[in-house]
Amino acid sequence: MKLLFWNCRGAGNNIFKRNLTEILRIHKLDILVLMENKVPLSSMGMFFNNLGFTASTSVGPTGRAGGIWILWDNLTVNVRVSSANYQAIHATVHKESYDDWVLSAVYASPLLRNRDQLWGEMEAMAENMTAPWLVAGDFNDFATQGERRSFTPNSNMG
């Protein structure tokens, strides 16, 4: 099973579309997870349908920040969402000839207090988890201030 997690920092532009089309041509993905897409999924529906992703679930961006999309072809894989909020989508994935497993697609808040809430939620899930579990995404966390960087002028910390 092939998956791609991508913090695309904006999904509506032509460069993103061209790059994603090429990635899909080469890798033939089963599931695509996009974070920080900055546009509503509804504005991209036909584009993804044309690429073979006929089913999806999403948490929309807040303004032009954040957002998580999970897209898949429902003829090859089934994704059943169990919960979703602005920081994570949790789902069970089923594909013929594979054991079911749990997918948690994360786009954590850059605010520490909100990330703490996410970690509390994840710890509660872990206590009851019996299936294989993949947790992946953008955790907006760093080990040291030296790792922190921004693309806006004069906002680098360190």
List helix spans (H) across the chain.
Answer: 14-27, 45-50, 112-128
β 133-138/101-107 pair status: parallel
Mean pLDDT of 37-45: 86
- Per the CB < 8 A criterion, the answer to whether 27 and 20 are in contact is no
How do the domains of the chain map onto residue ranges?
3-140
Q: Which CATH class is domain 3-140?
A: alpha beta
Mean pLDDT of 134-139: 94
List helix spans (H) across 4-150.
Answer: 14-27, 45-50, 112-128
> What pLDDT was estimated at residue 141?
82
β 88-94/78-85 pair status: antiparallel
Mean pLDDT of 115-124: 94
Percent of the chain with pLDDT over 70: 90
Average pLDDT value for the chain:
89
Residues whose CB is less than 8 angstroms from the CB of residue 13 and which lie 6 or more positions away in sequence, other chains included: none
> What pLDDT was estimated at residue 152?
54
> What pLDDT was estimated at residue 117?
94
> What pLDDT was estimated at residue 111?
87
Mean pLDDT of 61-73: 84
The strands making up 101-107's β-sheet, listed across from edge to edge, are 78-85, 88-94, 101-107, 133-138
pLDDT of residue 151 exceeding 70: no
